[in-house]
Amino acid sequence: MPAFVQPCPATGPVPAGAFSAEETAAVYRAIYSRRDVRSQFLARPVDEAVLLRLLGAAHHAPSVGFMQPWNFIVIRDQAVKERVQTAFRAANAEAEAMFPEARRPHYSALKLEGITQAPVNLCVTCDRSRGGPVVLGRTHAAEMDLFSSVCAVQNLWLAARAEGIGVGWVSIFRDGALREILDLPGPVVPVAYLCLGHVDALYAEPELQAKGWASRLPLEELIYRDRWGQGDG
């Protein structure tokens, strides 16, 4: 266990307060320099101890009602990766056709996955039956289990950035494809299919921005006060 990870006390609150300047800077560095990695994976294996630290970070994500609906399917088998990549290619061909004809050459030039290149693939799932039929905090918003699982993905992604591990999220699959390949039982749904591996370099900005597909929206245009559409002016 890294020195900065403190064991949780059995009961009772612990002192709270801001991190040191160095610790705070490290958190924000992980947030701002995190990237969706598609093509920079190295062949070097991911050490099991590092992977377990990342999964531990994911497992410490917030979850509504403390339901902890996630599971983590670690995939190293090349044959399984190849089946997943085949499923991606089928869906990706359909996805390309959904864009205006003028954008399709740009779309087809983008590398949108590193499934077989990444040493580790990881499927983060959500067990929609976990916690039983009535879960605290989910009584009026059934999707909170899915939202909680996404928090686990973000925790893992930021921890991976701190560890020098690249992460790429592959989302272009037909409904049911991952369920069939990974033998997911009925109440379990795939939330994120991730590619993980060591990287020596990352884009200075999001890759889709660097390659002209989209740009980050200005923050000031996204903030409203007290109600939708109301700004500071």
Confidence of residue 90 (pLDDT cuts 50, 70, 90): very high
Q: Give CA–CA dist 171/181, Å, rounded.
A: 15
% pLDDT > 90, the chain: 92
Average pLDDT over residues 101-112: 96
Pairing of strands 165-170, 120-127: unpaired
Q: Say if residues 65 and 156 touch (Cβ distance below 8 Å).
A: no
For residue 62, count CB atoms less than 10 angstroms from its CB and return exposed for 0-12, middle for 13-18, buried for 19 or more: exposed
Other beta carbons within 10 Å of 9: 8
Give 161-197 pLDDT, tens digit per residue: 999 999 999 999 999 999 999 999 999 999 999 999 9
* pLDDT reported for residue 5: 62
Average pLDDT over residues 133-155: 97
* pLDDT reported for residue 14: 87
In SS3 terms, 107-165 reads as: HHHCCCCCCCCCCEEEEEEEECCCCCCCCCCCCCCCCHHHHHHHHHHHHHHHHHHHHCE
* pLDDT reported for residue 233: 67
The model's pTM = 0.94
Average pLDDT over residues 112-129: 98
Q: Give CA–CA dist 124/194, Å, rounded.
A: 8
Position 21 pLDDT exceeds 70: yes
* pLDDT reported for residue 7: 58
Angle made by CA atoms 41, 62, 17, in degrees to the nearest 5: 100
What is the three-class DSSP state of 37?
coil
What's domain 36-200's superfamily in CATH?
Answer: NADH Oxidase (3.40.109.10)
Sequence spans of domains, the chain: 36-200
How high is the mean pLDDT of the chain?
Answer: 95
Average pLDDT over residues 61-88: 98
Q: Say if residues 67 and 138 touch (Cβ distance below 8 Å).
A: yes
* pLDDT reported for residue 232: 82
Q: Give CA–CA dist 133/65, Å, rounded.
A: 12
* pLDDT reported for residue 176: 97
Q: Give CA–CA dist 230/225, Å, rounded.
A: 5
Confidence of residue 134 (pLDDT cuts 50, 70, 90): very high
Residues 6+ apart with CB under 8 A from 42: 197, 198, 199, 200
Specify the higher pLDDT residue, 184 or 39: 184
